[in-house]
Amino acid sequence: MDWTSISGKIVQGYGVASGKSATTIYPAGSIAMQAPYFKALGLDLEGYFMGTINVSVAPVEVVGVNAAMCFPDVVWTSIHGSETFSFSPCKLQYAELECEALVYWPHPETKPAHVQEITILEIIAPPIPNLEYGDSVTLSVNLNEIILKNLPKA
């Protein structure tokens, strides 16, 4: 594996993954609705926060994800068609805390709405106390699975 660390800032997302948006069509949150389907496919999200942490890694751009853990054509709602999801193990460091986490990548070509900016990585992690918008974090990602552009030279 080819790991690299990227500095990032926590930014506000759409509130769809967690169900916190007042206008979401998934009031329970899309992650909570998707979790049973992921579990049946071999990924148990028990112990994780049922939402995503949106990390801006600008000026780095996320070109794509080619993760070993890919679930194609998941039908998790009757509201729209199937989606493809990839997950890549990563580490998130915040203050003195470092935790195992996952890059969550709903493939944009199958996602009906709420596509992320190209400088945002969505992370699924255990609950992290006191984490707030604007906080700085460091992500360690596998460059064999996460395809990045404009990565600063070491």
Return the beta strands (E) in the chain as ranges: 3-11, 53-56, 61-65, 69-74, 83-94, 97-106, 120-124, 136-142, 146-149
Residues sharing a CB contact under 8 Å with residue 113, sequence separation 6 or more, in sequence order: none
User: Rounded to an integer, what distance in angstroms lies between the CA atom of residue 54 and that of residue 120?
Assistant: 6
Give the pLDDT score at 15.
53
The more confident residue out of 33 and 9 is 9
Tell me the per-residue pLDDT of 67-82, one tens digit each, with 9 for 90 and over. 999 999 999 888 878 9
Q: Give the residue-averaged pLDDT of 121-139.
A: 96
pLDDT score recorded for residue 154? 63
- The percent of residues in the chain predicted with pLDDT above 70, rounded, is 86
Between 116 and 4, whose confidence is greater? Answer: 4
Is residue 35 helix, strand or coil? helix
pLDDT tens column, 135-150: 999 999 999 999 999 9
Classify 30 as helix, strand or coil: helix
The dotted CATH code for 3-131 is 2.40.30
Kindly report the pTM of this predicted structure. Answer: 0.90
Bond preceding residue 59 cis, omega within 30 of 0: yes
